[in-house]
Chains A and B, each alone.
Chain A
């Protein structure tokens, strides 16, 4: 089933680790470009880099939601 997410841009808050990371990887696997927003800057960059290493687009947005 093609979920037709190719080319969509997804922002995943808390995307550096845990469920958020899995969500980011899953969306990326479906072709979405993924922005990882997380307070854990290093972990967020690591997750984004791993997605880029897999040949997909991803960037890291370190920051606080509040």
Chain B
């Protein structure tokens, strides 16, 4: 199946590691011109070199910075056709009562505001082109809650509302916006968890295994294609059924 993505400009936010990195690789293999956007420019450059893409440093907490980063992408690779938001903070663990206001604010400022800045910045380019794809990575636990991750899951829940609203508002411009809910994926943020927690999470799941980042990236690539033009405002559980009832 030819996804017809050759020549499209794809900007992957959080593209230096994990699912974002795998998405850069998969979309580059499909012929996209890929911009690897990340706060860690050295890691972004490593990915960009590998796929002959372009690395751009970005501080997603600043709208001006995001706007400038996407303008740079547009200048070098052409207007952004595809935005994949694969970023988030993964160091704000704590129950509601353990979470300080500063920690909370930092998570929201990074993940939720960051995603808004990105969607806001690419909107005019996609609308002008009458074609666009926005894929946002959220979390399956937004509907169930996740013990000790109040700030992170709250931000991830915010991404839901934001993406669905963008889907409504951009639909007439032929811009689709969808949400991917990954499962337990072998990424640096997973590897950073304490070993006991990793073990518990794998055991708890239905499949008893970790997913490779490419598994998520392939779903993203499909949503970017014209085959998925009828899909917008939807969320996709790519957890291998990990959240289904098991006994």
Cα–Cα distance between A1 and B3 once the two chains are bound (Å): 7
Residues on B with beta carbons closer than 8 Å to the beta carbon of A29:
1
Cα–Cα distance between A29 and B2 once the two chains are bound (Å): 11
Residues on B with beta carbons closer than 8 Å to the beta carbon of A3:
1
What residues make up the interface of B, taking CB atoms closer than 8 Å to A? Answer: 1-3, 30, 218, 221-222
Cα–Cα distance between A2 and B3 once the two chains are bound (Å): 10
Total of A-B residue pairs, C-beta within 8 Å: 11
Q: How far is the CB of B229 from chain A (nearest CB, A)?
A: 15
Write 9 A-B pairs (CB below 8 A) sorted by A numbering: A1-B1, A1-B2, A1-B3, A1-B218, A1-B221, A1-B222, A2-B1, A29-B1, A30-B1
What residues make up the interface of A, taking CB atoms closer than 8 Å to B? Answer: 1-3, 29-30
Specify the chain A residue showing the minimal Cβ separation from B2. A1
Known contacts A29-B1, A30-B1; 8 additional CB pairs below 8 A are A1-B1, A1-B2, A1-B3, A1-B30, A1-B218, A1-B221, A1-B222, A2-B1
Q: How far is the CB of B141 from chain A (nearest CB, A)?
A: 29
Q: How far is the CB of A10 from chain B (nearest CB, A)?
A: 15
Specify the chain B residue showing the minimal Cβ separation from A30. B1
Instruction: Give the one of A1, A2, A29 with max B CB within 10 A.
Output: A1
Main secondary structure of the interface of A (DSSP, over half): loop
Q: How far is the CB of A7 from chain B (nearest CB, A)?
A: 16
Residues on A with beta carbons closer than 8 Å to the beta carbon of B2:
1
Residues on A with beta carbons closer than 8 Å to the beta carbon of B218:
1
Residues on B with beta carbons closer than 8 Å to the beta carbon of A30:
1
Residues on A with beta carbons closer than 8 Å to the beta carbon of B1:
1-3, 29-30
Q: How far is the CB of B213 from chain A (nearest CB, A)?
A: 16
Specify the chain B residue showing the minimal Cβ separation from A2. B1
Cα–Cα distance between A24 and B217 once the two chains are bound (Å): 26
Cα–Cα distance between A7 and B218 once the two chains are bound (Å): 21
Cα–Cα distance between A9 and B132 once the two chains are bound (Å): 35
Instruction: Give the one of B1, B30, B218, B221 with max A CB within 10 A.
Output: B1
Cα–Cα distance between A1 and B1 once the two chains are bound (Å): 5
Residues on A with beta carbons closer than 8 Å to the beta carbon of B3:
1
Residues on B with beta carbons closer than 8 Å to the beta carbon of A1:
1-3, 30, 218, 221-222
Residues on A with beta carbons closer than 8 Å to the beta carbon of B222:
1
Cα–Cα distance between A50 and B149 once the two chains are bound (Å): 55
Cα–Cα distance between A6 and B221 once the two chains are bound (Å): 20
Cα–Cα distance between A2 and B1 once the two chains are bound (Å): 6
Residues on B with beta carbons closer than 8 Å to the beta carbon of A2:
1
Residues on A with beta carbons closer than 8 Å to the beta carbon of B221:
1
Cα–Cα distance between A3 and B30 once the two chains are bound (Å): 13
Cα–Cα distance between A29 and B227 once the two chains are bound (Å): 14
Cα–Cα distance between A1 and B218 once the two chains are bound (Å): 9
Cα–Cα distance between A64 and B79 once the two chains are bound (Å): 52
Q: How far is the CB of B135 from chain A (nearest CB, A)?
A: 15
Cα–Cα distance between A43 and B218 once the two chains are bound (Å): 35
Cα–Cα distance between A57 and B1 once the two chains are bound (Å): 18
